[in-house]
Structures are given as structure tokens and as C-alpha cells.
Homo-oligomer: A and B are copies of this chain.
Amino acid sequence: MEKHIALGDILKMEPAYRRNLMNSISGFKACNLIGTASYRKVANVAIFNSVVHIGATPPLLGFVMRPLTVPRQTYHNIRARGFFTVNAVTKNFYERAHQTSAKYAEDTSEFEACGLTPQYTETHPAPYVGESPVKLGLQFEEEHHIRANGTIFIIGKVVEVLFDDSLLAPDGHLNLVQAGVLAVGGLDSYFEPELLGRLGYARP
């Protein structure tokens, strides 16, 4: 039986219930850790499920940052230093990745607190997550403030990518299933995707 729910009824829902519904209703989401370093070089890492592809030439990604109503270490570090990393989360360390969503004190490194390994290259100032098989180094490009609710859409340019050789197909695709990369549903459910089918370029 198809249920119809209008905006007025959505707004009357209990907040946690509405949050669960609205976070699950848009579908599966990418599961990434974003790494940054503070001015005083404390390595910060936090889980995000809003990373989206913006373009390939130049390579650009975006993600949604919650409103700045409380201090947001990731935002602060990106604006202070101009760089961040995006690291795919796999089944091997998803519990530790989830734990980064806890509210740690400002001078605590979530890498240490959650048992994750910061990894640096000589060419990028933000920390990668050593456990991740697909790591992207980005340079801050622009930000857009969403008037409707105060969230911020951050755009970064990919300036470096690190991944295991064996994941790369001859056509440029990365084998995310082989890498054990997960998807997220709702706020806290982690999923293992399995390939159903690959379809060709569609023509009328």
C-alpha cells in the first residue's frame, strides 16, 4: 500500500524519526573519511557520506558540511590550510571510521583516538588514512553557503590520487568491490555492494 506523506506531516514527525527517514530516503551514499591538518599540525579525520563527483576535467569533488553553529574542525582546517584528503572506507576498518563521528576535544587527533594511521606524502600537506585503499588529495577550490539551512557545499580539486595498482581496470575504472569499499544507508548502516550489471553508453 503506497503511503503519501506531505511536508506538513514530515515537519510534525519526532526529530530522530524524521532524521532517519530523510537520511535513508535519497538512496545509498558514498562512505569516505576526510583528513585535514590544523595550523598546529594536529591531524583530524571525520566520516562523511556526502562526497559527490563534480567533474573529471579538471578533477573536482564536492561534499556537504553541516552548519557552522558549533566549531567544525574539518571546515576550519580546510580554510586555514587549503588542503584535505578523501579516503574510501572499507569493511576492514568501518567500525573505526564510524567512531570518528564522536565529538572529540579540539586538540585530540581522531587518528589516535580511533586507531587509524595518518599517512603523508611529500607533495600534500593533509593526512591520508593509511588503512584506505583509495586516497585522494585535494586543494580547496570554492564554497557555497546553502541559504535554505546553513549547510556548506565545499568543492575541492583532486591534485593527487593514491591507490593499489591491482584495482585499476584497463579502461580507467577502479574496482571498488575488490577494494572492499562500502556504501552507507541512513546515518549508521553500512552496506557491501555487489555488481549487478554494467550497461553501455545509451543511445536513442
Contact = CB atoms under 8 A, between A and B. Distances in A.
Given A59-B10, A202-B98, A202-B99, A21 B174 contact: yes
Contacts of A94: 196-197, 199
A91 B55 CA distance: 27
A174 B24 contact: yes
A156 B93 CA distance: 34
Nearest to A188: B199
Interface residues of A, number: 112
B53 A196 contact: no
A103 interface: yes
Interface string A64-107: 10000000000000000000001010010011001111111100
A64 B191 CA distance: 24
Contacts of A118: none
A30 interface: yes
- The DSSP consensus for interface residues of chain A is mixed
Contact of A64 (B21, B24, B52, B151): B52
B7 A163 contact: no
Given A174-B21, A191-B196, A197-B190, A26 B61 contact: yes
Contact of A7 (B54, B134, B158): B158
Interface in A130-147: 134, 136, 141-142, 144, 146-147
Contacts of A165: 1-3
A94 B134 CA distance: 27
